[in-house]
Amino acid sequence: MMLRVSEPILGDEERSALLDVIDSGWITMGPRVEAFEAEFARTHAASQAVAVNSCTSGLHLSLVAFGIGPGDEVLVPSLTFVASANSILYTGATPVFVDIASLETPLMCIEDAAAKVTPRTRAVLLVHFAGYVLGRDLWTAFAREHNLILIEDAAHAAGARSAGTFGSAAIFSFYGNKNMTTAEGGMILVADDALAEQMRRLRAHGLTSTGYERMAVRSSSYDVPMLGFNYRMDELRAALGMVQLRSLFEWNEKRRQLTGTYHQILRAQQDTVVMPFALEYGGGTADSSYHILPVVLPPDAPRSAVMRRMLEDEIQTTIHYPPCHHLSYYERTQPGVLLPKTEEFGRRELTLPLYPGMETDDVARVCLSLQAAVRHAQHEA
């Protein structure tokens, strides 16, 4: 049986929730979205949550709400999905790419970030890569020292303990490969009530009232006092989210256990791969949602050969991520960016299967295949 890199858990509860929405006759943004926002905020100890149609739109919306725009710079790691950098460009601001700390800790390097602060720097966009939350006290002090807005890209970190607790806003993803899914969709956590209300208006064209609100008071009148976007979540996705959220912490615990098993087996193999987060987090004690399982291949084991050999064993692998500054658009628009640690990680990183439907035997199977594939690749190189 093929082991995929990720696999959503969907069943009768999700099916029933979707049918309930269809039977209700109201499928656009309405009471289920409000309920999902309230419950997600409660489970993450946040005061306000704003549901949107993707994490990307949530990032953009947050930057707009904080007044980021042309002439501004935003610090962001290059080791991230391109949406993190793109959302900065959408505002007219400039993403300034920052290196990672090391192969073992592939999170944004605070020293490199400090070196890249200029008078134009307005914000720092932290990325909780692989679900591992960056140091709260460290980055809060950094933002305060440099008078920066701190925003958490928590796309990987739903259910992590401190995710969303220290940024001015935190944005989560519910894409199909995330720890909980609504197929597409995202959520913004924000502490400021007025800012949350502004984001709710911005996500719906800047309208002063939603269609559901107008129906409830039997009014067709509205105004548009601000330029907004169409970033709304619908009732179908909110219904899925409510069901998925109930299992999030249970699923994250299973991910934690599987991650610990990976670390145990791969440590015993010694020279097969480098295990990111092993030294800092001990393979299972981090503040993390354990979203993905990244490893760093030996420099003499070509990644493409390892991936092909593991696919022959019916094990899917992938890459997280090609560095943003090496994507052709950014090479063309921001030439000459050098981030040696990110580039080395980008050349050698491999993502192994990790999802709650796996069992310990599946992890052992992946590790044995990886070891054989690495040795074969080294021999053929």
Which residues are catalytically annotated?
178
Residues 310/373, Cβ–Cβ less than 8 Å: yes
Smallest CA-to-CA distance from 339 within 51, 37, 80, 15 is with 80
How many other CB atoms are there within 10 angstroms of residue 99's CB atom?
25
Smallest CA-to-CA distance from 366 within 301, 317, 305, 302 is with 317
B/e letters for 115-142, b = 16+ CB within 10 Å, e = fewer, are ebbeeebbbbbbbbbbbbbbbbeebeeb
- Listed in order, strand segments (DSSP E) in the chain are 48-52, 73-77, 94-98, 121-127, 149-153, 169-173, 186-190, 293-296, 349-352
Could you tell me whether strands 149-153 and 121-127 are parallel, antiparallel, or unpaired per DSSP bridges? parallel
Give the distance, in angstroms, between the CA of residue 35 and the centroid of all CA atoms in the same chain.
22
DSSP state of 135: P
Q: What are phi and psi of 38, to 5 degrees?
A: -65, -40
CA distance 180 to 175: 8
CA distance 257 to 263: 10
